[in-house]
Amino acid sequence: MKKYTVNPVKTEDNDFIWCVVENSTEQIVKAFSFQEDASEYARFLSGGGAFDGWTPTFLLREIAVENELTYNQKFEAIFA
């Protein structure tokens, strides 16, 4: 069984990005503009790169973040 697959995902502007998906967790690991780049990264991961197909669950958990200005917004407030 393959540990990673590459799937096209349609974006809001009707374009496509190529996502590397970890099959065991069904999580998107990384997105690419080109299928070749995504396939190469999936091969790297399948060959033992990173977590070898078993990403620890603590890395996949969402974290509640306070609704505060982003760094870009802070920068714009200072220098705009």
Q: Per-residue pLDDT tens for 22-62?
A: 888 888 889 999 999 999 999 988 877 776 656 677 766 77
Residue 78 has pLDDT above 70, yes or no: yes
Residue 63 has pLDDT above 70, yes or no: no
Distance, CA of 17 to CA of 55 (rounded, Å): 22
* Own/partner pairs, 29-35, CB within 8 angstroms, 24+ separation: 29/4, 29/55, 35/6, 35/8
Which of these, 21, 23, 19, lies nearest to 2 by C-alpha position?
23
Give me the residue spans of the domains in the chain. Answer: 4-79
Q: What is the pLDDT of residue 68?
A: 64
Q: What is the pLDDT of residue 37?
A: 95
DSSP H helices in 3-56: 35-46
Distance, CA of 68 to CA of 44 (rounded, Å): 37
SS3 call for 21: strand
